[in-house]
């Protein structure tokens, strides 16, 4: 489900008290978000085996560049800041 947020939130629809596996057409949409049980963001492991804390207000476009490889985007350390 497209949406504006990347960390500690969901862009999926609220389907109430349904349990996994969710009924069609939902599948697992909106259930695989990056989430941490502490405020402010999440620790993530990047492809170079480094660990970074990503702020929950990170740009959705920067986050998408971090989790995809087909676009060959370059993300600078400054992009990881709020």
Q: Report whether pLDDT(28) > 80.
A: no
Query: Does the residue 67 lie in any domain?
Result: yes
Is 58 inside any structural domain? yes
Domain residue limits at 23: 1-10+17-71
For residue 48, which phi and psi values (nearest 5 degrees)? -90, 10
Please identify which residue in the block is written with the tokens 């389907």: 15
pLDDT bin (cut points 50, 70, 90) of residue 37 is confident
Question: How many structural domains is the chain composed of?
Answer: 1
Q: Is residue 82 part of a domain?
A: no
Model confidence at 41: pLDDT above 80: yes
Instruction: Report pTM.
Output: 0.63
76 within domain boundaries: no
Residue 81 lies in a domain: no
Q: What is the pLDDT of residues 7-24, one digit of tens each?
A: 877 666 665 666 656 555
- For residue 38, being part of any structural domain is answered with yes
């Amino acid at each position: 489900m497209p949406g504006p947020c990347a960390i500690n939130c969901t862009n999926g629809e609220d389907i109430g008290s349904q349990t996994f596996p969710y009924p069609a057409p939902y599948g697992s949409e909106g259930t695989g978000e990056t989430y941490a049980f502490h405020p402010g963001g999440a620790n993530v492991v990047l492809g170079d085996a480094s660990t970074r804390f990503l702020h929950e207000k990170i740009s959705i476009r920067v986050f998408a560049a971090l989790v995809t490889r087909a676009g060959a985007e370059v993300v600078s350390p400054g992009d990881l800041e709020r």
